[in-house]
Amino acid sequence: MIATLPAGIWRREAAAELKRSWRLPQFLLPTVLTPAAFYALFTLAINQSPSPAAAAASLAGYGVFAAIGPALFGFGAGVAMEREQGLIELKRVSPLPAGAFVAAKLVAAVAAVAAAVGLIYCVAILAGVRLSVGQWLVLALLHFAATLPFGLIGLGIGMRMSGKGAVAVANALFLGSAMVGGLWIPSTMLPAWMRAVGEFAPSYHLGQVARGIVGADTIGSLPLHGAIVVAMTMAAAVWAWTGWRRNPA
């Protein structure tokens, strides 16, 4: 007779993952603080009191940037290092479902994203950005949701690469996707080739939807950007799943 899986197995795994992240602040702190620091520096300090509308448009992109860091590093580099330490092997021979493992990582990543995004929102409010409650909620939802595609991309990297390799790739994707996605400098001001590359990055399409939410100018149809994000997320899920399946540890 085979017993069913115990209740609460998903919740307890997530709680343990949050505890681990909390006790490893040196790992997450840079990815939590960097986006707010960049936002304060490049949008507010250099421009010297930009209009609230410009600060809001910039906030839309920097919020996506804030979600990419914890997602790529927590999943990509984190998973690769855990694999090297034999931690994933331990989970894989236990009755813990793979879904509970991934969900726990996602919860920890979203918690870090909430901290990073919350920090940026505080800076934005101090700089005079005013949005309706509905706009704040939808914007926050989008910024949290941005964790998913980048988390799945990270998981696929983490299951395929060494710890050092994954850190390097996560760094390159973190900065690269922010650049070509128009999260720092609006896409309309980017060179044509960068915009062309950006079309292939979820960051660009997420950034456009975010700009739409705060009422900034956008390129192209927002529903189409949304559909492309969904399609890219599904492709990332396949990439993550095949990485999980093909790697014995």
Partner 1 sequence: MQVDLSTIATLTDVSKSLGSTPVLDRFSLAIRAGEVTALLGPNGAGKTTTVGLLTGRLQPDAGTARLFGLDPTRPAARMRMGVMLQTAGLPDVLSVTEVVTLQSGYYADPRPVAETLAIASLTDLAQRRCGALSGGQARRVQYALAICGRPALLVLDEPTAAMDRASRQALWATVRAAADDGTAVLLTSHDLEEADALADRVLVMNHGRIVADDSPANLRARAGGSVIRCRTALAPAMLQALPAVRAAGNEGGDQRIVTADAVATVRALCAADPSLSQLRIADAALEDAIATLLAPADQRNAA
CB 90 to partner 1: min, Å: 4
Nearer to partner 1, 82 or 204 (CB): 82
Interatomic CA distance for residues 125 and 67, integer angstroms: 19
Nearer to partner 1, 111 or 190 (CB): 111
CB 79 to partner 1: min, Å: 13
What's the 3-state SS for the chain? CCCCCCCCHHHHHHHHHHHHHHCCHHHHHHHHHHHHHHHHHHHHHCCCCCCHHHHHHHHHHHHHHHHHHHHHHHHHHHHHHHHHCCHHHHHHCCCCCHHHHHHHHHHHHHHHHHHHHHHHHHHHHHCCCCCCHHHHHHHHHHHHHCHHHHHHHHHHHHCCCCHHHHHHHHHHHHHHHHHHCCCCCCHHHCCHHHHHHHCCCHHHHHHHHHHHHHCCCCCCCHHHHHHHHHHHHHHHHHHHHHHHHHCCC
Interatomic CA distance for residues 246 and 109, integer angstroms: 24
CB 6 to partner 1: min, Å: 6
Helices (H), 181-247: 192-198, 202-214, 222-246
Nearer to partner 1, 85 or 221 (CB): 85
Nearer to partner 1, 3 or 189 (CB): 3
Q: Which two tokens stand for residue 141?
A: 């939802």
Nearer to partner 1, 54 or 87 (CB): 87
CB 70 to partner 1: min, Å: 17
Nearer to partner 1, 25 or 220 (CB): 25
Q: Which residues bind partner 1 (CB under 8 A)?
A: 2-6, 8-9, 12-13, 16, 19-20, 23-24, 82, 85-87, 89-90, 92-98, 245, 248-249
- Residue 237 is given by DSSP the state H
Nearer to partner 1, 82 or 213 (CB): 82
